[in-house]
Amino acid sequence: MKAPTSYVVTVLVLSIICTTSSAQNTIESPLLDQRLICECELSEGLEEELEECYLIKPFDRFPAFNITLRGLFNKEIAVWDQEQLEKSAFKINQKLKHKGYLQSKVVLSKNYESKKGDVAEYKIELGPRWFLGEIKWTTLQSGIPNSEVQQNTILNTGDILDIDLLEEERKRLSEQCQNSGFATFNEGFIHFEIDTSRTSGVADLEILIRGQKLEGAGDFVEHKRMKIGSIYYDQSFMSKPIGESILKYIVMLDEGKLYDPFKFESTYRRLSSVSSISSVQLAKDYPSEVDGDFGVVDVTVVLKSASRYNFSFSLDMTRADTRFGPLSSLTWKNRNLIGKGDVFSWTTTASFSSTQLFSNTDINLLPNTGELGLQMSYRRIGMPFISIENLPKSTYSHSEVILNGAIEARPEYNRSFVNLLYRVDWTENPTRMSKIIVDPIRLSYVKIANSSDFEQWLEDFGDPLTQYRFSDYANLGSSLSWSQNAKSKIFTSIEWSGQLTGLLAPIIGFDTNDNGGLEVNGLPLINYIRFDASLSKTLQFKSNDSDKIAFRIRTGSAWVGKGTEALPFDRAFYGGGANGVRGWPIRGLGGGEDLIGVGDLRFDVSLEHRKDITDAFTIAAFSDVGNVWVHDSPNKLKDLAFSMGLGFRYDLEFFLFRIDTAIRLYDPTQNQEHRWIVQSPLKGAVHFGLGHPF
């Protein structure tokens, strides 16, 4: 029985050898590597910059193997190209001169040591490095005070002569002047003159700041600080104009204020975010009149209308922790209902997804859950009870009413719900991109019809709290959240229900049940407080753009109040899953004896090293630690779960598909003597997901 297998292997090996030999015979002098040869040690940063000058990109690792592999698949193989390599040598020499080695020399040579191909060597003679000597600032009728242009300069006598540093100073100076109100000033008015004649190794620098050269003027014309003059709104291209009070709130510019390029950028960004506007133009005009020492810039805001009515269909994938599958939606919108940039929309949704069962811990990947939903929403610019003229422009606030409902059919139960939500959101800090969302009204009605098999499982399980989690309920409460989406992503939220209602119950006329809780038409009104927070950040290696380190910390806790025995399952925390501790399936970790994987307390930390293999394909090595508990769980720290694994992500442009596979290093679901990986058989989980987990 072994002979046929051996024969097949032999044929495959011979085929590869023959193909490799054939591939190598058709290519003369493959280029294995390129090396920088210098008697003096090059700094790591400089060496990387010089390697970026290679016009023929080298193989990252194992060049001989990569050549063989490329030959097998008829891929292009780098060969010795004298012209391209000499151009690379020239670029390397130019880069060295830009870095202060004004007398550097670079000679290209060939290394014949390897029989499998050629190696290009760039032999470098650095010579002495030059430094900045005297620095002189000269203004040629620029109108900008010398003291102002020298303020915050990054150039100092004794610094290395570095052209990149000069360009950085040019950019800094241009931005500083524009931010100071000099609207007509840009990098083109800054010139550097270098004089190396005074002494060897020292370069004197003169920085020339000149004025404008206007048509018909014999000499330079000074730049002037600019104030915003008149602001005009051109809505001739809008099918239905937006109210001017709304536009004045969106536009960050104010008449009579100093010119600020950041406010132009934010104005453009905010106007572009209004769905009834398809294009924005901020036209500037510089009239000849001046206001004392200030010039004037008039601004015309030209708006072009988007289609007022919009009908769209989208196909996406559900991103919930407990479900995976396609999600379709059909949406109709009126993008400017009453001329205030307000949006009224109807959306129908349908999904068919795979859902993890509560009564069975086996991983399920087959679709078993269908959902049909309908949502109506109305979103407008501004806040309730506050005139838009009195709102600070930086808040860019909105208010929204959302009414939605859905019918969900799962193998274990059918669930139907209706939600009414009133929301107000505003920007807390534009620089940090932080936002506050307040939901003063959150009203929910949830009805659950258990299947006979699931009902039997609940009875056999015999725990009243578990049965309570899968019963009908009503929710009347509020929530508050704060998020930041700058260098670090931070999210915090708190939601509550039943506290204020309990005080108003005698007035409203709600019934009281035997546990002291409130009822609405016979449904228990849940009483709880829930806190949730997360911090995530992605760090990129300076030496390699394709390498990233990402981490996330999550914590959460919920408490039930009078009349509520346990949190409903959809307001609890889940252990494991594609976005949690990935060594376990969703709800396969933690919780309490009443229901594994469902808890009132959560803590987990995840760390990933992501490596981009191509523009679309990424590999990630990761580790997770954490768990979920009920509040009375003992030894919470001893029950922290550990897992590690490998993930594969492919970017399909419209979404990123993810497969993560993980093994369990420490499993708190097992007995004490079988928790570590070396104490029990290898276990783990495979997860499918969309997007990075954080």
What are the sequence ranges of the domains in the chain?
A: 2-125, 131-210, 225-305, 527-694
What confidence tier does 73 reach under pLDDT thresholds 50, 70, 90? Answer: very low
Residue 332: both structure tokens together: 């109709």
Task: Point out which residues pair with 549 in neighbouring strands.
Answer: 539, 609
Query: How far, in Å, CA of 99 to CA of 207, rounded?
Result: 19
* 183/1: higher pLDDT: 183
**Model confidence over 595-626: pLDDT tens digits?**
677 889 999 999 999 999 888 899 999 999 99
Name which residue leads in pLDDT, 73 or 519: 519
Share the mean pLDDT of the chain: 86
pLDDT at 233: 96
Give me the mean pLDDT over the 95-101 stretch. 95
* Average pLDDT for 170-199: 93
State percent of the chain over pLDDT 90. 58
Question: pTM for the full model?
Answer: 0.78
* Radius of gyration in angstroms for the set of CA atoms belonging to the chain, rounded to a whole number: 33
Name the CATH architecture for the domain at 131-210: Roll (3.10)
* 422 and 401 Cβ atoms separated by less than 8 Å: yes
Q: What is the CATH number of domain 2-125?
A: 3.10.20.310
Give me the mean pLDDT over the 35-56 stretch: 89
* pLDDT higher than threshold 50 for residue 69: no
Residues 621-649, mean pLDDT to the nearest whole number: 91
Specify burial of residue 20 (Cβ count, 10 A radius: 0-12, 13-18, 19+).
middle
Q: pLDDT for 143-178, tens place per residue?
A: 898 888 888 999 999 999 999 999 999 999 999 999
> How far is it, in rounded angstroms, from Cα 117 to Cα 59?
13
pLDDT of residue 665: 96
pLDDT exceeds cutoff 90 at 381:
yes
Instruction: Give tens-digit pLDDT for 228-273.
Output: 999 999 999 999 999 999 999 999 999 999 999 999 999 999 999 9
Q: Which pLDDT score is estimated for 329?
A: 95
The pLDDT value given to residue 25 = 41
Give one DSSP letter per residue of 564-627, joined into a string.
--S--GGGSEE-SSTTS-TTS-TT-S-B-SSSBTEESEEEEEEEEEEEESSSSEEEEEEEEEEE
User: What is the dotted CATH code of the domain comprising 527-694?
Assistant: 2.40.160.50
Closest CA to 587 of 569, 606, 599, 574: 574
* Integer Cα distance of 643 and 686 in angstroms: 12
The answer to whether the 225-305 and 527-694 domains have the same CATH topology is: no
CA–CA distance, 108 with 122 (Å, rounded to integer): 5
Contact 602, 480 (CB under 8 A): no
d(CA 326, CA 323): 10
Structure tokens at 636: 């919470």
If you average pLDDT over residues 401-405, what whole number do you get? 98
Average pLDDT over residues 72-99: 83
Report the C-alpha gap between 31 and 76 in whole angstroms.
12
* CA 134/CA 154 separation, integer angstroms: 14
Residue 261, classed as helix, strand or coil, is helix
pLDDT score at 505: 62
In sequence order, what DSSP letters do the residues of 662-686 get, joined into one string?
EEEEE-TTS-GGG-BGGGS---EEE
Q: How many CB atoms lie within 10 A of CB 376?
A: 13
Evaluate if residue 11 carries a pLDDT over 60: no
CA 328 to CA 312: how far, in whole Å? 11
Q: What is the predicted pLDDT for the residue at 20? A: 41
User: Is CATH 3.10.20.310 the right assignment for the domain spanning 225-305?
Assistant: yes
User: Pairing state of beta strands 518-520 and 523-525?
Assistant: antiparallel
pLDDT at 602: 94
Q: Does residue 19 surpass a pLDDT of 70?
A: no
Question: What is the length of the chain?
Answer: 694
Rounded to 10°, the helix 261-272/163-179 angle is 80
Q: What is the pLDDT of residues 554-591, one digit of tens each?
A: 999 999 988 888 888 888 898 888 899 999 988 888 86
| Spatial CA neighbour of 559 closest among 588, 530, 580, 525 | 530
Q: Are 622 and 580 in contact (CB under 8 A)?
A: no
**Residue 599: per-residue pLDDT:** 87
